[in-house]
Structure 1
């Protein structure tokens, strides 16, 4: 995505998002975990790097909002990530827990700028980051932190959309909490759904059973679960309830990788 960011071209971002939406719809996908809204303040970041749009918060905000608006106008739910900002880390959260020592005013001036723009663009979903920010929560990573998810994202920034966790199988979380306990903590913190990508379904079943037991034991309020389900239904109603076209679907080979889309990719690649 850094090539798109280097172009600085909002119209190119819109064309990219329109092409992306067309290909996603062609294969039946209605939610895309894009755009990355992390600011590339650390080019050596081992997990974000060139996935970021730009080095400046204002550029990430402008181009990210353009992608969100266009994707969603085309019927694809967008998901901005990784809240509250994974751009300035030196470790990979797939393997260990990154710690960011910035004070709150730095986050407000840099990392949160693209997320504020995404919220203003009515982004359907926001994904949390597996990062520890002692200035915001000394104990728990953002995904599991009520202070960050419910406090900062919901109450301070006023976000009412869907909050999704990043993959709970990543070692930053599973290595410290285990995926089942992390599921309970994430939902309790304010996430409305969790992402879990294990090699088989056993871990997912175990996490679901642990979640049910947590509700039955009173560890997780029923009201919190009902809020999460209501948000999921709103997003599904918004992006899955569109009337089907009476026209037959175009053959996939006429949509996927079509010349027009390849031309957009080539135009972006010029800025590599």
Structure 2
């Protein structure tokens, strides 16, 4: 459903008094980026940081638009449901399946590389993520994004625009820098700010991303690392806002509200939490959380984000022994469909953590990574390896043809993705 940033804003402001006094004393452990820390950052080298990305915006929205403004809502343009229905009706099964893919494109590219051309123009994937690092600045990034969006205008794409994502948390996890981009502090530092001030700063950062054509930011991190805990994926990179769920809730909600106000959709991650996991899923297989339950207080930041109608939630690739032992969260119907969708009530877009290069999924065949995620209730399969797109789309199509209930799952996931694109002004009937 379309996000309601006003609720995020109200919640962020309402938490100022309750949490401002305690965040300064929290001593959080640190975050894990998608792309990893830059080579110059040597203070924490025990584990590489996670993948990062950036996204272009074909939306008519401008950074000055009010939170909650839905581009293309002018008289004479199709409503979201009717527009989505029109686009869905024109799409065949392969096109719907391709909308469920987000593939990596190097952020420092001066033009779309051949792998991106094939994925976007020929495979018609629905989203891209800018990976690695770029210090080229806003104008150069906007030019790259515009080139990618032009690839999505061909007949094989139904003229559906791309969601372009980036990993712009701050600190060691900031893919885009250079002229026009602020240097964003790490989450621990952000967490010391009053929520209203953090929201204001996040709005500025979001507006900078929107000016570069980015539509989605893979942030904020809603994971809580308890004080004194050694945590590879989050704590070692200072990616957590605080050491207590209530303080994390205040900061993550403020950051998300600011991003929305700046014109970029936030992605709350890594559900159901990596703050107490044993390792970094980007570099380690078999990462396990042995403590989180379906009614865990550490789910509070995620619950607050869902209550505020966050548009995206990212699901982790760790396993959770006390919820669904033996299955990675991204492949678990118990975690995605029951816990996130039913228990918490989330009806937005569920995106996976990286299913391309992450060590956590190395033993799972490429096609099965996509089908297992969608079968669990997921929507957007993130792979930083664009060459995997054909195998993933083919696997989704093959299973949808063989299993009617899975075909329904693909259609529902495509509907959620296209509904989000309608809000962003990326569908032809919403421009």
TM-score, length-normalised on structure 2?
A: 0.53
Unaligned runs of 5+ residues in structure 2 are: 1-186
* Contact 2:277/2:287, CA 8 A, preserved across alignment: yes
Select which of 238, 243, 249 maps to 1:61. 249
Give the structure with the higher percent helix. 1
Q: By how many angstroms is 1:69 displaced?
A: 1.7
Query: Aligned residue for 2:369?
Result: 182
Q: Deviations over 1:192-236 (max 9, x none)?
A: 1110012xx331211111111111221762111111011111211
Q: Is 1:131 matched with 2:318?
A: yes
Q: By how many angstroms is 1:74 displaced?
A: 2.7
Select which of 211, 216, 226 maps to 1:31. 216
TM-score, length-normalised on structure 1?
A: 0.82
Query: Aligned residue for 1:4?
Result: 190
Q: By how many angstroms is 1:239 displaced?
A: 2.2
Select which of 385, 390, 395 maps to 1:205. 390
* Contact 1:184/1:220, CA 8 A, preserved across alignment: no
Q: CA RMSD in A?
A: 1.7
Q: Deviations over 1:11-62 (max 9, x none)?
A: 2211221111111011100111110000022642111121111111001111
* Contact 2:220/2:255, CA 8 A, preserved across alignment: yes
Q: Distance in 2 between matches of 1:64 and 1:240?
A: 26
SS at 2:410 equivalent: helix
Q: Deviations over 1:123-152 (max 9, x none)?
A: 110000011112111221100000100010
Unaligned runs of 5+ residues in structure 1 are: 243-272
Question: Against the structure 1 CA distance between its residues 219 and 172, is the aligned structure 2 distance closer, same or farther, given a 3 Å change threshold?
Answer: farther
Q: Distance in 2 between matches of 1:72 and 1:155?
A: 25
SS at 2:263 equivalent: coil
Higher RCO (Cα < 8 Å, 6 or more apart): 2
Query: Aligned residue for 1:146?
Result: 333
* Contact 2:400/2:407, CA 8 A, preserved across alignment: yes
